[in-house]
Amino acid sequence: MKKYRDLDLATRLRIYNHAMELRRQGLGCKRVTKIIQEIHGVSISPRNVNDWFNHRKTPLRGAAKEILCGSTALKPINQLTKYEELNLEERLKLHEEALKLHFMGYGARSIATVLRLKYSVEVGVGAIVGWIRGYLPRGRIKTNLTPSPQLATIVANSISDGTVSEGTRPRFATQMKDLEPIELVRECLKEIAGRDYQRSYLPSRNVYFTSAYRKDLLEYLKNINVLDLLQKYPKDFIKMFFEAEGGPSATVIRKEKGSKMTGFFNAIVFAVNSSQELLKAIQEGLKITYKIQSHIRLVTKAGTLREIHGKKVVSKKDCYRLEICSKNSIIRYAEIGFISKRRQEKLDDIIDILKTYGKTEEGAIEWVRRYKYCEEGREKWIRRQTLLSHEEAISELSRLLRERQKNKQATTDHNHYH
């Protein structure tokens, strides 16, 4: 015999209503308890029935108690239908019922409970809040999982900055420092899923965030052949992947010629990932489609202790970096470009300097004229709001080179004495 406390809410409410009907016929607690056990096959304490009769307790609480107590048209909760499976007509019926309850003064959570018990449909509280705010239900929109540039963009993001999580409510989520790539993710999700997804800003981490809970999209992302989409839509895939996992980078290299110290301009476009196989596939795509030469090297071995966002962590996997180093290949990468304005501006400046000066001392002067070196933070070279004059840039370059020479000497002395 099942215990009353182990039953679902709808069944407990149905037993409660039957008990109250027997009470109205003049039966006492013990007699009603025995009838419930015989008819429903449920073990229940006379104390429970006494609480119903004499202390006005019910299986429900709050507003749902006022709405549903006395109702007999209830189905067991294990027979619930998901809201996503309903057609538009059925959704509009629930929408109308929800608004009626709202006008009676009930909140979204109580309305969700009523719809679950009365209509045997699982409707999210968020959906009901949307109805109250004036949104209308829409018909079921099928997720478009046909291979497309938008799908390639989402897949590239999901294996870089994005995550496909498990748990009670699985989701695809991504967070990025720049607004433009998040907006592109939202546009792609809208094209694929047929609805708008919200964007939020997380001030504690200084990143933008968006997420999607579409079940068929999540299944697709967990089982997708990544290389197939890379081959079909290389530009869209590579553009998002490099935006999330790397970027353009430039610096000044110090070289000594006898007693003279000189600075030279150097630049790369790179992407970092733990999958060497994926980087090799991207390398092949760059070579075949854009004639871009690159190489892959190991940058962090598994078990290495390093610092990320101020916290010390141990790398669980080997980490590799794909680097585009040659002048011509970096210039050709302009055909792909970056999504964020910040990274695209830096790439444009690098290409302009490479075309005009190459990897020379004049190139280093021009780079220092446009960008300021910062010791703090992950991004070492920040674009200047006001450009330096040529003479100021020469002086700044000399100062940077002297500082680097001093730091190198201090490191040498430290190693010598320790």
Which tens digit of pLDDT belongs to each residue from 279-316?
999 999 999 999 999 999 999 998 888 777 677 888 88
- Return the pLDDT at 414: 43
Better-scored residue on pLDDT, 57 or 71: 57
pLDDT for the residue 411? 56
Q: How confident is the model at residue 417 (pLDDT cuts 50, 70, 90)?
A: very low
Q: What is the mean pLDDT of the chain?
A: 87
The residue among 167, 148, 168, 151 whose CA lies nearest residue 159 is 151
Extended strands (E) in 142-257:
162-165, 171-176, 199-202, 207-212, 246-257
- Count other Cβ atoms within 10 Å, centred on residue 94: 21
The model's pTM: 0.71
Q: Mind giving me the DSSP string for 64-93?
A: HHHHHTT------GGGPEEGGGS-HHHHHH
Confidence of residue 126 (pLDDT cuts 50, 70, 90): confident
Q: Quote the CA–CA distance of 110 and 106 in Å, as a whole number.
A: 6
Say yes or no to pLDDT of 73 above 90.
no
Beta strands in 142-259 (DSSP E): 162-165, 171-176, 199-202, 207-212, 246-257
Q: Burial, 417: exposed, middle or buried (Cβ in 10 Å; 0-12, 13-18, 19+)?
A: exposed
What's the pLDDT at 275?
94
416 pLDDT band, cuts 50/70/90, is very low
pLDDT in tens, 80-106: 788 878 888 888 899 998 998 888 888
> How large is the average pLDDT for residues 52-75?
62
